[in-house]
Structure 1
Amino acid sequence: MTRHHPLFRASRLLPLALLAMVGARPAAAQSLFEMQEGVETRWASGENPTGARGAGGQANGGRKGSPTVAIPAGESRVLAQETGTSGTVRRIWMTFPDRGPQMLRGLRIDMYWDGASTPAVSAPVGDFFGIGLGRTATFQSALFSNPEGRSFNALVPMPFRTGMRIVMVNESGRNLDELFYDVDYTVGDRHGPSALYFHAHWRRERQTTLQRDYEILPRIAGRGRYLGTNIGVTVDTATYYNTWWGEGEVKVYLDGDRDLPTLAGTGAEDYIGTAWGQGQFADLYQGSPIADEKAMQWAFYRYHVHDPVFFQRDIRVTIQQIGYLAPHSREPIVRAGRPLYRAGPGRVEMDLSKDGKFERADDYSSTVYFYLDRPESPLPPIAPVAERVAGLERSGQ
């Protein structure tokens, strides 16, 4: 039986030495020079949409006749599909000319495993590939990258047992005349009972609620692994001006936790491994590719590869909306005369002459990534495109 990638195993994490061997770019956990018997490689693209043997590059006499596919407004396209076989999606790459907010949020990518009727993955294409807010940026992480701000790469291993289907839906209201893409996968992989299914879910609250934590991952039942998230924050500058937004703690409720979580962080920038504010950076497992103080927008990510978050019964992941009032940001708040409420229980007004943490409500969106012991989850469909794109003009794109 082939060895399974440590990311989607339900059992305990493989030794760190093995993770070091596979490196930053997830691939099969076997050595590079080991042959996997019965496993074959496929590439699905415009030049070979079915990934079939000996069927690539037929158009124009084999001289690059079909490098792109078109998806008219309101239509969908199957990017890759296999039936009656096991396998693993190993890499997805794509690009298209129009990378503005309407297209990045209007294109939806759905993924189905083992004949499921509802997708395990459903997200706007830009958000799925690691950055929200309808924006792009140059960055590299262990799981996603955008080398020059013009393309989209995913390297998350996605196993299936009896088939898979990856679909792009164009809800942008605009024709997509050129989509370049590759879905690189193998067939014949033998996945044992501990192999989990990859899921991704997008959600947004254009204005969060005071003292109610934003749900990165609403509660789901099952056995699996929380892989991480990318989050986009647009500050409500009409209310909070340029005050700091990122004091909120990430909390992970595991296996029956209700009132209090088992895992609790210490702040938004702390969760992604930085401190004392949040500038632009991109590391393998944590980063903030967008830190735009002019637009007051931040997009950041954290992936739990070396620090796995397993759950045996259920899981829920949240982040608080808590800000900090400091001397450099106090003047417009005082001039406006609006109350701020001290972070904590109840609604207690702050003394605006003093520094301190306060409850706030901003625009949050997120894509969460996780593995689950089943190919479907009870999470709802993502919001309609109008809600996905509303207010994104602040990005200036």
Structure 2
Amino acid sequence: MSNLSGMFKDLTKVKKARNGRFASWDQRGMNQDYWEIPAGESITIGEVEGPGCITHIWMTSSCRKVKAPSILDPELNANAAPVMEIHPALGVIWDDYDPFYYRKVLIKITWDDQDTPSVLAPFGDFFCIGNSYPGNFSSLPFNVSLKPEEAGRYGAPCSVSCYFPMPFNKKAKFEIINQNELPFILYFNIDYEMYKEPLDDDTAYFHASWNRQNPCDGWGADLQVNSPEVNTVTNLKGDGNYVVLNTEGTGHYVGCNLTVKHFQGSWWGEGNDMFFIDGEEYPSLNGTGTEDYFNHAWGMQRNSFPFFGTIVHEGDTDGFQVSYRFHLTDPVRFEKSLKVTIEHGHSNHLSDDWSSTAYWYQTLPTVKPLSILPVEDRLPVVPILPERITPKVELTTEQKNARESYLKRWENYEPVRQEQFRIKENKARRESKMNTEFAKKLREDYK
């Protein structure tokens, strides 16, 4: 019996396993190492037979609409390095970036022979991008890496990683559902291990689910936070609390990310967390405030740590906060059911916009099928600028000719660029099948 202990003790043992990977690499051997997932379409980015375990997910993405004719040749540019498609140079191309695509695209993961997914969440929120607004942060299970010049804007391209282990006994299937009206660019590496022996019967499977309440049902959003009138109202059973997770089965909750858009202009974090384990009427785990649940105090600070922290601080946005808390050393166990809730303001008096992604492990089957709001109900609430009216100017002959020439060039450019989109979309469909076929061969060779 080994006396070794510690977080990385598995690295000191040789194990029987074979590595595999789903990736968007250009299987023609060229450098177009991304997939362009068509609008309104679902694509399987990888499917493999078990037993096995997903060990790491890395992705980066973008989404844009062509707004005007580039001065670059549309066919030549389509086969060049796609830097222009991610970060356009000034005056070279003019694309209309979708600021909310992180909420319009879904990630869906199904384990074994289930007919319902165990992971269903907006692409961004799964990777802790709240409100489609990425922020640099580093935790143990999730990381987001954002270039400084991209910070502070909705829909900014970034890289995302997930290190939660995701075991499966019979099959793992990863799908991306693009519910946008625009194509979705995705680079990805999904690393996994294959095993020859079946997993133990008590193996807990990774789950993730997204929820939103906009607005929360507050009874006194016009009343000052921390006022004596509000603070003397009781809430012992969690009636009306925001629900982070409500699941049935046997397993353990390992954390969440939470996005709160606050409207009153005071403070949103006075609500207590309440955990209801195995159907109890009163919560057996009671907290002392939302910021306390996220291991902060006296408000939220601008920091991120392995288990908890701030991703986007409300002082740096138009009034919303994105936070995370992972129960990696203190998972919340349940045998029959678990309901994780937080008050939105003390005794639920505030009517803010709350959204969250919960992460947990449980044995199969996934008893309560996961559902998600339609795309129009997932979009962030953002300030709307007043309409800008441009002056009408009487054109000279030369100016008229310039405008007519511009429109003529657009007539020629736009269909060619659209054709390149269709070519890339077909490449994604083709390589989707190739990824699954390659994984199947790899699995057959390792049995």
In the superposition, the TM-score normalised over structure 2's length comes to: 0.68
Identify the residue that residue 320 of structure 2 maps to in structure 1. 297
Q: For 2:313 and 2:141, how far apart are their aligned partners in 1?
A: 20
- 2:131 partner SS: coil
Cα distance, 1:380–1:308 mapped onto 2, change above 3 Å: closer
Identify the residue that residue 40 of structure 1 maps to in structure 2. 18
Query: Does structure 1 residue 78 correspond to structure 2 residue 64?
Result: no
Number of paired residues?
319
- 1:389 partner SS: coil
Identify the residue that residue 376 of structure 2 maps to in structure 1. 386
Q: Which amino acid letter does the alignment assign opposite residue 193 of structure 1?
A: D
Identify the residue that residue 97 of structure 1 maps to in structure 2. 62
Query: Does structure 1 residue 288 correspond to structure 2 residue 274?
Result: no
Q: Is the 8 A contact 1:254 1:315 kept in 2?
A: yes
Identify the residue that residue 216 of structure 1 maps to in structure 2. 244
Q: For the pair shown, which has the larger CA radius of gyration, 1 or 2?
A: 2
- Looking at secondary structure, tell me which structure has more helix per residue: 2
Shift in Å, 1:367: 0.4
Q: Which amino acid letter does the alignment assign opposite residue 14 of structure 2?
A: M
Identify the residue that residue 336 of structure 1 maps to in structure 2. none
Task: Map Cα deviations across residues 202-235 of structure 1 (whole Å, 9 max, x no partner).
Answer: 01111011261100012x2211000111010001
Q: Which amino acid letter does the alignment assign opposite residue 79 of structure 1?
A: I
Query: Does structure 1 residue 245 correspond to structure 2 residue 245?
Result: no
Identify the residue that residue 355 of structure 1 maps to in structure 2. none
Identify the residue that residue 136 of structure 2 maps to in structure 1. 138
Shift in Å, 1:125: 0.6
Q: Is the 8 A contact 1:209 1:361 kept in 2?
A: yes
Q: Is the 8 A contact 1:255 1:311 kept in 2?
A: yes
Corresponding residue to 1:169 among 177, 202, 220: 177
Task: Map Cα deviations across residues 45-100 of structure 1 (whole Å, 9 max, x no partner).
Answer: 123xxxxxxxxx6413xxx44411110100121111113x2100111110013385
- Looking at secondary structure, tell me which structure has more strand per residue: 1
Q: Is the 8 A contact 1:102 1:172 kept in 2?
A: no
Aligned runs of 1:131-210 on 2, under 5 Å? 131-148=129-146, 150-176=158-184, 178-188=185-195, 190-210=198-218
Q: Is the 8 A contact 2:54 2:166 kept in 1?
A: yes
Q: For 1:314 and 1:387, how far apart are their aligned partners in 2?
A: 28
Task: Map Cα deviations across residues 165-201 of structure 1 (whole Å, 9 max, x no partner).
Answer: 000011122112x311011001116421221011100
Cα distance, 1:394–1:113 mapped onto 2, change above 3 Å: farther
Shift in Å, 1:379: 4.1
- 1:281 partner SS: coil
Cα distance, 1:394–1:296 mapped onto 2, change above 3 Å: farther
Q: Is the 8 A contact 1:233 1:364 kept in 2?
A: yes
Shift in Å, 1:375: 4.0
Taking only aligned residues, the RMSD between alpha carbons, in angstroms, comes to 2.2
Q: Which amino acid letter does the alignment assign opposite residue 183 of structure 1?
A: I
Identify the residue that residue 314 of structure 1 maps to in structure 2. 337
